[in-house]
């Protein structure tokens, strides 16, 4: 167990994989994979767009709409400075920075979003999932759906 995070190496690696899978599914427009990263009643908050979504049905709907708005453009996320800390209740507090890029196929993408995540991660059915995910944007091109 790491004294810095309070997590075993295996748990740390599994949570890192959760972050990577979330980004890959989000970027691919995969609503099922995206929603599977959250607990059944998981909560997503995006401050810049005043979005608050709770539960898998809302997360699926959100990702389907997001993927539909992209057209032919692609999306890439990059997270950095991941910090995980086990909490007294057994959950994990995760924090990291994000950079999001949008691009046209065959072209270098543009930086579209810069911000940070603060997460509460728990085990559900033996797998680490986001119970709460809060995104604070420093700058974004994202527009709330109307």
pLDDT at 29: 94
pLDDT at 4: 74
CA-derived radius of gyration, the chain: 15
Task: Tell me if residue 80 falls in helix, strand or coil.
Answer: strand
Q: Which residues touch 146 (CB under 8 Å, ≥6 apart)? A: none
pLDDT at 61 over 60: yes
Segments making up each domain of the chain, as ranges: 9-140
Torsion of CA 84, 14, 122, 140, to 10 degrees: 60
- Give CA–CA dist 63/25, Å, rounded: 9
- What pLDDT is attached to residue 139? 82
Which tokens sit at 125?
Answer: 């059915």
Answering whether pTM is above 0.95, one says no
Residue 1 confidence (pLDDT) above 50? no
Residue by residue, DSSP assigns 22-67 as: HHHHHHHT-HHHHHHTEEEEEEEEETTTTEEEESHHHHHHHHHHHH
pLDDT of residue 146: 53
CATH topology of domain 9-140: Nuclear Transport Factor 2; Chain: A, (3.10.450)
- Reported as a single tens digit per residue, the pLDDT across 83-95 is 999 999 999 999 9
pLDDT digits (tens, 9 = 90+) for 93-128: 999 999 999 999 999 999 999 999 999 999 999 999
């Amino acid at each position: 167990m790491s004294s810095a995070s309070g997590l075993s190496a295996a748990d740390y690696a599994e949570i890192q994989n959760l972050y990577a899978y979330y980004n890959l599914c989000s970027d691919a427009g995969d609503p099922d994979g995206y929603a599977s990263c959250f607990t059944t009643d998981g909560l997503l908050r995006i401050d810049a767009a005043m979005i608050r979504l709770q539960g898998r049905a809302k997360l699926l709907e959100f990702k389907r709409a997001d993927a539909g708005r992209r057209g032919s453009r692609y999306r890439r996320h990059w997270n950095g400075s991941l910090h995980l800390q086990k909490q007294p209740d057994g959950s994990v507090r995760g924090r990291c920075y994000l950079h999001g890029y949008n691009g046209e196929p065959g072209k270098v993408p543009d930086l579209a979003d810069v911000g940070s995540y603060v997460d509460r991660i728990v085990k559900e059915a033996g797998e680490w999932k986001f119970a709460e995910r809060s995104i604070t944007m420093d700058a974004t091109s994202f527009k709330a759906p109307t």
